[in-house]
Structure 1
Amino acid sequence: MASEERNAWQFGILAIVAYTVYVAVILGRAAGAPLVEVEFAWPMIWTILGSIAASIVIAILLGTLFPRTVQKPDVRDKQIGRFGDHVGQGFVIAGALAAMLMAIADWDRFWIANVIYLGFVLSAVLSSVAKIVAYRKGFQPW
């Protein structure tokens, strides 16, 4: 498995795990109360920072356990990376558009922040899936 493919797996899985932890914490804090009354900022910040830290630690561990000669990504790796990033961008745009419309409609900041976070998570997952499929099934440039 190429290191870029391994990174795609890691990125996608960590995005799902971090978001699942965040949702569990928020729902646990709500305990029947309306979600907009739950303090969400610090759990969101901590899950994002925790995901970044976990990504670094896992990359170091995997690099130590499965050492490879340092290899520059070839043209195919760069094309797959670009393809995956373009596929995932749609959710970032959709999340930003939804947040803008929510702000215009004067929705609570809880919903605005969470739709942006969800857009980033869906972008990361879809981008990772696109890259993994491209590595596994073969990538044909357009």
Structure 2
Amino acid sequence: MGGGGMSSEEKRAWIYAVVGVGVAAVYFVTVLSQVPGADVARIAYVQPMLVAIGAAIGLGIVVAIVAAIASPKDAGRADERDRQIHRMGEYVGFYVMSIAALVPLALAMAEAAHFWIANALYLAFVLATVASSVVKIVLYRRGF
């Protein structure tokens, strides 16, 4: 694979990293800013969380489509290197999710408020997505 710009797979990794961090940041700032002095059982987090998850998925798809339209020559063309990088990123994301999921599991065992369990699980998903994307970006940048 020659020089030039980013492959479509690397662009997709950047898109998921930026969208994942951006949407989660908006969600957590919005919802966690209500925590001080509040009864967390009264904080309406379900709808904002569902909106954040939907927005992350929707934005990721839309931005990936726009990126593919903007550079159609390499859209959808993945070589063996792309597949190996994707596999490694997903592998790391799986382990991050597996480890991060221990927090909501412990919170559930401690009978913590649903608010904390749900938010810890959402954060685990975000961390896994971002870790997977960062690993892919680093492998593209440093070579694989």
Q: TM above 0.5, one fold?
A: yes
Which stretch shifts more, 105-114 or 19-28? 19-28
- Contact 2:93/2:131 (<8 A) preserved: yes
SS of equivalent residue, structure 2 residue 100: helix
**What is residue 80 of structure 2 aligned with on the other side?**
75
Partners of 2:11 and 2:67 within 8 A in 1? no
Q: Note if contact 2:40-2:113 (Cα within 8 Å) is conserved in structure 1.
A: no
The Cα of 1:32 is off from its aligned counterpart by 4.2
Match of 1:105 in 2: 110
Displacement of 1:75 in angstroms is 1.1
- TM-score, structure 2 as length reference: 0.87
Report the identity percentage: 39
Q: Which contiguous aligned blocks of 4+ residues in structure 1 show a shift greater than 3 angstroms?
A: 27-32, 69-72
Q: Distance in 2 between matches of 1:56 and 1:22?
A: 19
1:70–1:123 distance in 2 versus 1, CA, 3 Å: closer
User: How many angstroms does 1:86 deviate by?
Assistant: 1.1
Assess if the C-alpha contact under 8 Å between 2:68 and 2:75 holds in 1.
Answer: no
SS of aligned partner of 1:22: helix
TM superposition score normalised by structure 1:
0.89
Unaligned runs of 5+ in 1: none
Equivalences for 1:122-133 in 2 at 5 Å?
122-133=127-138
The Cα offsets for residues 8-60 of structure 1, whole Å up to 9 and x where unpaired, read as 00001110011011112213544742444311111000011011111121122
- Taking a change above 3 Å as real, the CA distance of residues 30 and 138 of structure 1, as seen in their structure-2 partners, is same
SS in 1 for 2:89: helix
Deviates more, 1:86-95 or 1:68-77: 68-77
Q: Paired residues, what number?
A: 139
CA contact (8 A) 1:36 1:111 kept: no
Indicate yes or no: 2:37 matched with 1:18: no
